[in-house]
Structure 1
Amino acid sequence: MTAVAESITHELLTTPTTVALRPRYEGNNICTWIGFKHVNYLVEEAVLEHFRAAGLASRRLYEEFGLGVDIVAIDTRILNAFHLDDVGIATVRPTVADGSDKLTFAVTIVKDGGETKDVTAKVTVALRKDSYIEPTDDYPADLARFVVDRIATAEPGTEVAVLDNTELGAGRGTSAADDPVLRHLTAGRNSFGWKWRIPYPYCHNNERLQMSGYLRQMEEVVDLFLADRGISIKTLLDDRRWIPVVPHSKIEFLDEALMEEDLYTIYTVEEIFKDFTYRSRMDTYVVRDGRLVQTSTGTITHGYAVIENRRDWKLVPFDQRVLDAFGRVNPA
């Protein structure tokens, strides 16, 4: 093994970094506003840039040391809306406690020229030992405390029957009420269940669903939930010029989810705050050896804003139609 200086992590763990970032055009869906998923992408990119600046780019860690950089928890508050072509100045500060085996960071984003924080986030990163191509322990000693053989390990849960109802031609999978796993996970709860096959574009390091994939999953299940409850995004957009807005989201890994496994995503309305925002929980599962394994949990808070013109919107209270849609409980 080539000798590597013991200070290889010094910059990563001690030195804040700053980078200018611009949200991608893909995140511009309504007027010129950028959705929560792409704001989280800015946070993710800022953390990856922090690794690059410290000389530990994700490519180097994987190719030289067999370590995958996995964001395993992200908790983001959006304090002000991002627009198309805004430039955000992102600052990443290491928050790793002495002796901790968790790589944690605090991220703030301020729009270029601004004086107040527009985004704040807390991020946890795991260095996952590659087990797909020639597994090795040949990595610098001071990385060792952050290396994991597996990203968390959830205890197997309820034994369930599985129904093969996600044919490739189904596209977006199924939310069928006769799916035994979805029925088990949603019975008696104010929940929407969705099952589909984990696609290759959502994964990395040859096998695993990555954080950006979970963010896409969270955005997708909200879209399907609203349509299922009769208030699809386009319906309220056309009827009232209402759009969903997200001030807070978070996701945490509980176990690994693998490419081409069936992922069961359960979206549960938990609480409505003063008819202006509602918080929902997203839980995801796979079935292994006939038992449920929970792979992630997270929450997302939504409100509705009315589009006033091409530049401006304002928050509006929920009306009875929307409250009724949020309140349905599935039969046991």
Structure 2
Amino acid sequence: MSPVLDPAVAALLDNPTTTRLRPVFEGNNISFAIGFKHINYVAEAAVLSHFRAAGLSVGSMYKRFGLGFEVVELRSRLGALLDVDDEVEAEVTPATKDGATEFTFKVAQFVERDGERLKCATSTVRVALRIDDHIAASEAYPAGLERFAVRSLGSGDRLELAATPSPYGSLVEGRGTVGSDPVLDELIGEDNAFGWRWRMPYFYCHFNDRVQMSGFLRVMEEVEDLFLASRGLAIKEVLDTRNWIPVVTQSELRLLDETLMEEELYTVYTIENVFKSLLYTARMDCYVIRDGELVRTVTGTITHGYLTEHAPNEWSMATFDEATVSALSTPKRVDA
């Protein structure tokens, strides 16, 4: 016989919800479209609304139960451009399996376009509740919530480190290292990859302690930007000379372990495929050094292409020229 669940927990697990949201203006970087990061933010916001509707808002769970809301996996497929002026109807459907220790939700984003309801994105969002060491719970967990409460967010792969890490420097040394670095060199080897080392700032973190999912979406966007510049495909130059803007069709991120505030993050961005001269896929792996070992804390993939404006406000996929295919396909080391 299944245990009796608290009504709020039962609502989280069983009741679909729908909420109306608008993308944040910050995500309107090029033309009228919203970028992939903020489309993922909408999916996260829809799940946050789902928790509020059940009576278990993020703030109340932290204050009452000492539990931090953590998106630990976010997979999205983007089907249509999201306009800066769109109001999104976000449908959240619970999909948690019996006995699972993470909540799973399917999120579909719809907009109205020319009188029709158009699906612009679908996501799978997985959530854990991290027991916080900074505060003590003032109430017992509602029945059924305890299985989702974890002491840590995982145990990432441990890799023996042969290189001797070089000193990073002070917190004011800017955007980190993209040149020769012994740890990045070891991680990259001969792969068609790009490395970036940067200390994680507090504004990518939450609950006093660790980098949250939105922070890693930002890291993914930033390392892509740095990678393209290193291959002679800086976004502004490509926009000005070829009239191409980057577009993401799929993205996926999974937190394997915790990354703590002001830890140095070693990010490796590896090109996996360039296909049909239309899209390329890249894998992002992030590491920190603990007790002399590399710990992989995040992994993910992203699929990129370019759109070109063939008429005012009308966009279509651009076909890569030979120079672009070569730049994406040929490993290049960045000098210090």
Over 3 Å counting, the alpha-carbon distance change for 1:227 and 1:203 in structure 2 is same
Per the alignment, residue 205 of structure 2 pairs with 203
Deviations 1:207-246 (A, max 9, x none): 0100000000000000000001111001100101111100
How many Å separate the matches in 1 of 2:157 and 2:225? Answer: 30
How many Å separate the matches in 1 of 2:295 and 2:116? Answer: 44
Which blocks of at least 5 consecutive residues in structure 1 are unaligned? none
Dislocated runs of 4+, deviation >6 Å:
none
Per the alignment, residue 173 of structure 1 pairs with 176
Contact 1:8 1:142 in 2 (8 A): no
Per the alignment, residue 261 of structure 2 pairs with 259
RMSD between aligned alpha carbons? 1.7
Per the alignment, residue 80 of structure 2 pairs with 80
Per the alignment, residue 285 of structure 1 pairs with 287
Contact 1:127 1:146 in 2 (8 A): yes
Over 3 Å counting, the alpha-carbon distance change for 1:310 and 1:67 in structure 2 is farther
Report the residue type matching 1:207 in the other structure: D
Over 3 Å counting, the alpha-carbon distance change for 1:166 and 1:246 in structure 2 is farther
1:127 is the counterpart of 2:129: yes
Report the residue type matching 2:176 in the other structure: G
1:106 is the counterpart of 2:106: yes
Per the alignment, residue 220 of structure 1 pairs with 222
Task: Describe how 1:56-67 pairs up with structure 2 within 5 A.
Answer: 56-67=56-67
TM-score (norm 2): 0.94
How many Å separate the matches in 2 of 1:11 and 1:137? Answer: 20
Which blocks of at least 5 consecutive residues in structure 2 are unaligned? none
- Count of aligned residue pairs for this structure pair: 327
TM-score (norm 1): 0.95
Counterpart of 2:145 in 1: which secondary structure? Answer: helix
Task: Describe how 1:5-154 pairs up with structure 2 within 5 A.
Answer: 6-112=6-112, 114-134=116-136, 138-154=140-156
CA offset at residue 328 of structure 1? 2.0
How many Å separate the matches in 2 of 1:137 and 1:166? Answer: 44
**301-310 vs 118-127, which moves further:** 301-310
Counterpart of 1:133 in 2: which secondary structure? Answer: coil
**319-328 vs 305-314, which moves further:** 305-314
How many Å separate the matches in 2 of 1:186 and 1:89? Answer: 42
How many Å separate the matches in 2 of 1:114 and 1:99? Answer: 39
CA offset at residue 136 of structure 1? 8.0
CA offset at residue 309 of structure 1? 4.4
Counterpart of 2:159 in 1: which secondary structure? Answer: coil
Counterpart of 1:64 in 2: which secondary structure? Answer: helix
Deviations 1:88-137 (A, max 9, x none): 10000000112222200000011035333211111100001001234789
